[in-house]
């Protein structure tokens, strides 16, 4: 007996350890989900791109070493004595080495490149910020997807409980009708009606089981772990006071709340900030296209410390400093066509972002109104369930007294079950909408 009790306690402990809350599953998904990990890698890449763009402002130093060997004919010709008529033969004034070694250090420093360096660095910073916002937006999307799957599993489990309850009630009524049929006080059609309802209830339970398995697999993929976990139950009645508050709000209060919500969306939504960044980046591209018409200036210092026939770093040394100014005069229209392209790309982006913003704000507003509607739906379904229970109680009593038909009792049973399912579903719809709203404000 003690062994059985210990085994039961151990099973309960294992079950408790494997069950996780909705917030815990969202946190696990943010750490393990592959889509989020891909966005995090993108953010790291953007960070290194920013550092790379910064290096364009710094000088570049390089060591250069060359070895040149000329052929015999060229060597002999270059070192041949010079014949001067009437005077005689003189040695070559510019003798060359057959094998020559040259070593130098070159320092290059960009000064002004039509604004490309500054704009390139600014673009890299915007790209990094965009990657960060995209990561935040992806986290919000995954959080909502996890919540949708999590709440979907709990909803189906609750519906499973109600379906099993309905099946048990059906089997109980079927047993009573069969007994009455045996003694001739119930019609064969009454038996058939309850048998049909039994099959329907069993089919519903089978469909719910399959849906739970499918949704569970999707949830496991989202949270990115192979460890077997179970969603913890949620006390949906905890939302009753909040739901009631939304239900009793008057129209002016709802309009004010909607305005405040949309204002918060405009300030905090990652998606809106991404749209703004897209416009800024296109403006920077347009400025870079304008820079194609500007001159560029670069400095280069070169110090040569060897140029002789031996590789010993001890030859002739010299240095030079070059200031290269380049002014574009004619590029076959390339810079002009790039400017026009950048201009219309900017206009295209502006129209696209304005359209996306309008649609996004409409969607945000609709989600807020759906939340209010779902809150009212919960209250309406509560009332409907009370009526269905009262109706079922009355019909059941009348059926016991033989004052109503079997079909009327069956209808009352169906109405009660449907009302219970509608209430459970409306609760989970409301909770899920709260997580959808977070997509717009986090």
> pLDDT digits over 390-433, tens only?
999 999 899 888 888 888 888 898 899 999 999 999 999 999 99
> pLDDT digits over 118-177, tens only?
999 999 999 999 999 999 999 999 999 999 999 999 999 999 999 998 899 889 888 888
User: Are the beta carbons of 25 and 19 closer than 8 angstroms?
Assistant: no
pLDDT at residue 376 in the model:
95
Number of Cβ atoms within 10 Å of the Cβ of 371: 21
What's the whole-model pTM score? 0.81
User: Are the beta carbons of 398 and 404 closer than 8 angstroms?
Assistant: yes
Cα torsion through 20, 25, 31, 36, rounded to 10: 160
Distance separating alpha carbons of residues 281 and 126, to the nearest angstrom:
7
Q: Which of 51-60, 82-91, 139-148 has the lowest mean pLDDT?
A: 82-91
Tokens 């009793």, residue? 248
Tokens 């809150």, residue? 375
Q: What angle do CA 95, 99, 105 make, to 5 degrees?
A: 95
Average confidence score pLDDT of the chain:
88
pLDDT at residue 87 in the model:
65
- Indicate the pLDDT class of residue 228, thresholds 50, 70 and 90: confident
- Counting every residue written for the chain, the total comes to 442
Which residues, at least 6 apart from 5, have a Cβ–Cβ distance to it below 8 Å?
Answer: none
Distance separating alpha carbons of residues 324 and 328, to the nearest angstrom:
13
Strand partners, 307: 102
Number of Cβ atoms within 10 Å of the Cβ of 201: 20
**Is the pLDDT score of 5 beyond 60?**
no
């Amino acid at each position: 007996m003690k062994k059985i009790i210990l085994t039961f306690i151990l099973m309960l402990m294992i079950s408790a350890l494997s069950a996780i809350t909705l917030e815990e599953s969202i946190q696990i998904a943010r750490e393990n989900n592959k889509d989020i990990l891909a966005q995090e890698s993108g953010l790291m890449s953007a960070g290194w791109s920013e550092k790379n763009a910064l290096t364009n402002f710094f000088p570049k130093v390089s060591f250069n070493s060359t070895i040149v060997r000329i052929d015999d004919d060229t060597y002999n010709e270059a070192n041949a004595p010079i014949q001067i008529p009437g005077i005689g033969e003189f040695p070559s004034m510019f003798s060359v080495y057959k094998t020559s070694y040259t070593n130098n250090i070159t320092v290059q420093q960009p000064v002004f490149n039509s604004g490309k360096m500054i704009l390139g660095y600014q673009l890299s910073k915007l790209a990094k910020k965009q990657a960060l916002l995209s990561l935040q937006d992806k986290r919000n999307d995954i959080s909502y997807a996890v919540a949708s799957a999590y709440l979907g599993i709990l909803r189906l489990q609750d519906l499973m409980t109600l379906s099993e309850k309905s099946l048990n009630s059906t089997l109980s009524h079927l047993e009573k009708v069969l007994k009455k049929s045996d003694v001739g006080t119930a019609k064969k059609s009454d038996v058939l009606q309850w048998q049909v309802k039994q099959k329907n209830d069993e089919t519903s339970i089978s469909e719910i089981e399959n849906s739970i398995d499918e949704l569970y697999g999707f949830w496991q993929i989202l949270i990115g772990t192979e460890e077997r976990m179970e969603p913890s139950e949620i006390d949906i009645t905890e939302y009753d006071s909040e739901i009631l508050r939304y239900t009793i709000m008057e129209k002016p209060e709802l309009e004010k709340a909607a305005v405040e919500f949309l204002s918060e969306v405009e300030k905090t939504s990652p998606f809106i900030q991404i749209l703004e960044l897209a416009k800024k980046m296109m403006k920077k591209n347009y400025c870079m296209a304008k820079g194609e018409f500007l001159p560029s200036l670069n400095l280069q210092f070169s110090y040569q410390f060897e140029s002789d026939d031996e590789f010993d770093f001890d030859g002739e040394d010299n240095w030079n400093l070059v200031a290269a100014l380049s002014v574009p005069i004619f590029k076959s229209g390339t810079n002009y066509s790039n400017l026009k392209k950048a201009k219309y790309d900017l206009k295209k982006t502006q129209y696209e972002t304005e359209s996306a913003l309008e649609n996004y704000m409409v969607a945000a507003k609709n989600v807020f109104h759906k939340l209010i509607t779902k809150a009212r739906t919960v209250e309406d379904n509560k009332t409907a369930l009370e009526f269905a229970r009262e109706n079922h109680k009355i019909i059941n009593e009348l059926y016991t007294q033989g004052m109503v038909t079997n079909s009327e009792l069956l209808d009352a049973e169906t109405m009660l079950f449907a009302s219970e399912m509608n209430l459970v579903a409306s609760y989970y719809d409301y909770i899920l909408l709260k997580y959808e709203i977070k997509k717009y404000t986090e």
